[in-house]
Chains A and B, each alone.
Chain A
Amino acid sequence: MHALEGVRLIDFGQYLAGPFGPMVIGDLGADVIKVEPVSGDGMRMAGGPFFGCQRGKRSLALDLKNPRGIEIALQLVERADIVHHNMTAGVAVRLGIGYEDCKAVKPDIVYCNTWAYGFEGPLAKFGGLDPLYQASAGLEYEQGPVREGNTPAYLRFGMTDTANAMLSVVGCLAALYHQRVTGEGQDLWTSLLDGGSMFASDALLVDGEAYPRPRLDKGQTGLDACYRLYETQEGWIQIAALSDAHWEALCGAVGAPELAADERFATRAARAENRKQLESLLEPRFATRTAIQWTRALDALGVPNEVAYDTKAGEYVLFDGDNERLGLVAEYDHALLGRMRQFGSLIDFSETPGLIHGPPPLVGEHTVEILEWLGYDAAQRDELRSERVVYWPDDDYPWTN
């Protein structure tokens, strides 16, 4: 048995912050049906980022602006446990797949909307993309860092999309657990804005004033002289000499045991206070050997460290033997693109494993099997297709993916 075997999720979302959550729930073994427009998900043109959020789903291409399309959508909802989407304010209700519509056909449904800003409030009407919520949570300010005179820096991982999606996963699963225990369904929501703020959840005000927290330096190397990147003769090394014992070992490793007795650096607080002086002593020393030489030297003396690996856009990680063996990489065949790889299992279960079902689907790849399952015969299916209520691929498939 797979972890979420028997759970069915209908994914009406497009773009990234909507669909990634359903993909994660799918990887846990649930059956995820992606309902996408007959013109295809609006994000398909994006290539990589689109595929990163779609594997393992079955695609039903369906026109939700057509009443017959909504009829089919509600037949799916009737057979589902979770409905998930990222439509902007009012859209789902206008289409006829709002929470009340879904609850009418499936009283214990779990219904999740991932928003940009939130369910209601001064900015709720806006959609938006990840960068705005990196801005609102101060991620761009801290990564600059702006207080050191640098320009704000966008983090290129799309992380508030991921945060929003993952909050929706936790929320949907909590609601599903509650439904399994009590029989009661409900609706829930999450947002990019709230998701972004979780990344800066160490920020707090005490009596209205900012409480100190670690700050990045102007050179974007790290948080203090003993928790930062150093450039070496070849490559960079990250050290994490956080305890006094690590500090002493570090002094030995860089050939400066006298520093361990230097009062300016005697405690962690002192090392933070005299950061610049300490860095000016350490930087030239790190420049004398390569990163690989340093990791061996530091390991030998017990100083926590790691070479900063250039993985060539992930290629070395996705083809790493340990990662492959441990299931951290997944490979599947895509009908048009061939072999694809992405990260594999992010959570392992000893009794009920997850299940990565396969590649991202083509537009409407599973339309026929899903309509068949709902009881539509061949003549009805052809008629729906000729009326453009549904679509499935044939010889003139117009997309590249």
Chain B
Amino acid sequence: MPGALHGVRVLDLSWGIAGPLGTLLLAEQGADVIKVEPPGGDPFREYSGYAVWNRSRRSVTVDLKQPAGADAFRKLSAGADVLVETFRPGVTERLGIGYDALHEINPRLVYLSCPAYPEGHRFAERPGYDALVQASSGQQWEQPGWRPGPIFLHMPMPSMGAMFLVPTGIITALIAREKTGRGQHVRTSLFQGALLYTTQIWSWVPGGGPAYYGTMAKTYPPGVHQEMIFEAAGGEYVHASIMSGLPPIKTQDAILGLPDASDPERYLMLSPEERAELTPKRRAAFKARKREELITEFRENNHAIEAIESMEVALGANGAAHPQLVANDMIATVDDPELGPTTQVGVPIHLSATPGAIQGPRPLPGQHNREIFGELGYSDAEIASFTGRGADAQDKGGE
């Protein structure tokens, strides 16, 4: 069963996180994604997530600084539906593969650019590593931490926003193309990816007041969601829910053996004084119980609760993987060409008629040079001249 995006060919010139992950979402819904790398490969190959983010695609290497390489790339783009690039504004133009040049060759091409900052912004020429955008967009100052000042976000937030904006922009332009018959230049950025996560914290009204701004405010000590993190016996942590959408059988406090067995959903509505009185009692009660027992008893009584562990534990590093991730088919086994058998996250979008699927492990750089450039009529010698090494070796396994 071909995926929903069957027949869509994507040339992926992107490096880093947002581009590869964005095109991964397309590839695993059926798009034919070709990673286009410089000879020697994507310079971000040492990233820990590289093997996951770059799977489900083929790879060619091209020296775009060589006229023959740029020419071969232009030929490839003539038959493509989508191009994705994450260079600073102006770089693709200098290489002769900017939007205007490729639009002339292929008017149906959807050309997506995702630099760190939008073109025309005073930051556009500044370096664009994820943490720099965390800093410049103000997100580090938004996060409470264990000391005053801005807090580094372990999760690369601007990239993790842009990775959704990339496929959203691409498919939207493909839908529009069904009407207009034409492609277009679609632009987003890591900076806009960071803004995506301000949805719940940065809507501004002049007379907002505490009621408007209170729910997700940055506070010391942190707000109700942080307060629902509890330490169980042995220094293990859980996050208990405020609400689960189900009628509780026993209340959380009854499970904990607290004399005043309050309604758990009431916890959200407690005054600061009431909460200050109740919280230490709850903390002591959690600490007296084994985590696994607590989780079982909470769930039996219709309270959602999760162990706080690393993602590696959720994937099954210490035993069983997270049971619902297993049920969602989100624990995948991928035989990586360099690492061997790996366990990775699966496909997070679940379509019924055209189910998505992992299309294979991340390719080695240039693994498909001969296959893809051969289709365009290039001889092995020609391919070797602009891809950085012999085509024979490439089809046997790249670098």
Tell me whether A213 and B314 are in contact (CB under 8 A): no
Cβ–Cβ contact B323 & A88, under 8 A: no
9 A-B residue pairs with Cβ-Cβ distance under 8 Å, sorted by A, are A3-B172, A127-B246, A138-B311, A138-B313, A163-B164, A223-B154, A338-B206, A340-B204, A346-B195
Does B339 sit at the interface, judged by CB under 8 A?
yes
Q: Which residues on the A side are within 8 Å of B145 (C-beta)?
A: 153, 220
Compute how far the CA of A136 lies from the CA of B140 in the bound complex, rounded to whole angstroms. 23
In the complex, A210 Cα to B314 Cα: how many Å? 11
**Which of B254-262, B348-356, B365-373, B384-392 lies on the face that meets chain A?**
B348-356
In contact, B172 and A4 (Cβ under 8 angstroms): yes
From B86-94, B274-282, B302-310, give the one contacting chain A: B302-310
CB distance B340 to A173 under 8 Å?
A: no
Q: Determine the chain B residues whose CB is within 8 A of the CB of A325 once the complex forms.
A: 120
Q: A307 at interface (Cβ–Cβ under 8 A)?
A: yes
A222 interface residue (CB < 8 Å to B): yes
Q: Which of A191, A214, A318 contacts B48 (CB 8 A)?
A: A214
Rounded to whole Å, the gap between the CB of A26 and the closest CB of chain B is 12
Q: Are A189 and B244 in contact (CB under 8 A)?
A: no
A266 in contact (CB, < 8 A):
no
Query: Are B141 and A311 within 8 A (Cβ)?
Result: yes
**Nearest CB on A from B214, distance (A):** 7
B137 close to A (CB within 8 Å): yes
Cβ of A146 and Cβ of B324 under 8 Å apart? no
Q: Indicate whether A93 reaches chain B with its CB closer than 8 angstroms.
A: no
What 0/1 pattern do residues 330 to 364 of A give for CB contact below 8 A with B? 00001001111111011111111000000000000
**Complex CA–CA separation, A314 to B137 (angstroms):** 9
B327–A156 contact, CB under 8 A? no
| Docked-complex contact B328 and A202, CB < 8 angstroms | no
A window 125-155: CB within 8 A of B: 125-143, 145-147, 150-155
Which residue of the partner chain B has the closest CB to A128? B304
Quick check: which of A32-40, A41-49, A63-71, A279-287 contacts chain B, the rest being far away?
A41-49
Contact check: which of A47, A126, A337 meets B244 at CB < 8 Å?
A: A126
B48 near A157: Cβ-Cβ < 8 Å = no
Tell which of A3, A209, A236 touches B150, judged by Cβ atoms closer than 8 Å. Answer: A236
Q: In the complex where A128-B241, A156-B223, A213-B48 touch, is A135 in contact with B308 (Cβ < 8 A)? A: yes
Q: A interface, how many residues as a size bin?
A: 35 or more
B131 at the A/B interface (Cβ < 8 Å)?
A: yes
Q: A124-B324, A175-B351, A238-B140 are in contact. Are A309 and B171 (CB under 8 A)?
A: no
Q: Is the CB of A48 within 8 A of B201?
A: yes
A110 to B118, CA, bound (A): 32
Q: Name the distance in Å between A98's Cβ and chain B's nearest Cβ.
A: 13
**Across the interface, which residues of A come within 8 angstroms of B120, CB to CB?**
322, 325-326
Among B3, B4, B214, the one with the most A-chain Cβ atoms within 10 Å of its Cβ is B4
B377 at the A/B interface (Cβ < 8 Å)? no
Note all chain B residues with C-beta closer than 8 A to A189. Answer: 350
Cα A322 to Cα B192 with chains together (Å):
13
| A204 interface hit (Cβ, 8 Å) | yes
Q: Is the CB of A193 within 8 A of B167?
A: no
Complex Cα spacing A225 to B236, Å: 29
Closest to A126 in B: B304
Best-surrounded residue of A168, A175, A223 (most CB of chain B within 10 A)? A175
Q: Is A216 a contact partner of B154 (Cβ separation < 8 A)?
A: yes
Q: Is the CB of A121 within 8 A of B204?
A: no
* Chain A residues with CB below 8 A from B241, complex form: 126, 128-129, 131-132
* Given A126-B244, A128-B304, A190-B349, A350 contacting B184 (CB threshold 8 A): yes
Decide if B200 touches A152 in the complex (CB within 8 Å): no
Contact status A347-B186, CB under 8 Å: yes
> Chain A contacts of B171 at CB under 8 A?
170, 173-174, 176-177
Contact A211 B205 (CB under 8 A): no
In angstroms, Cα B235 to Cα A141, docked, is 13
Interface window among B32-40, B59-67, B224-232 = B224-232
Q: Per-position contact with B for A12-43: 1 when CB-CB < 8 Å, else 0? A: 00001000100010001000000000000000
Find chain B residues with CB under 8 A from A338 CB.
205-207
Taking a contact as CB atoms under 8 Å apart, the answer to whether A132 and B239 are in contact is yes
> Of residues B121, B203, B352, which shows the largest number of chain A Cβ atoms within 10 Å of its Cβ?
B203
A198 at the B interface (CB under 8 A): yes
Beta-carbon nearest neighbor of B50 in chain A: A202
Q: Verify if A123 is at the interface (C-beta below 8 Å from B).
A: yes
- A323–B179 Cα distance when bound, in Å, is 31
Which of chain B's residues have a CB closer than 8 A to the CB of A316?
A: 138
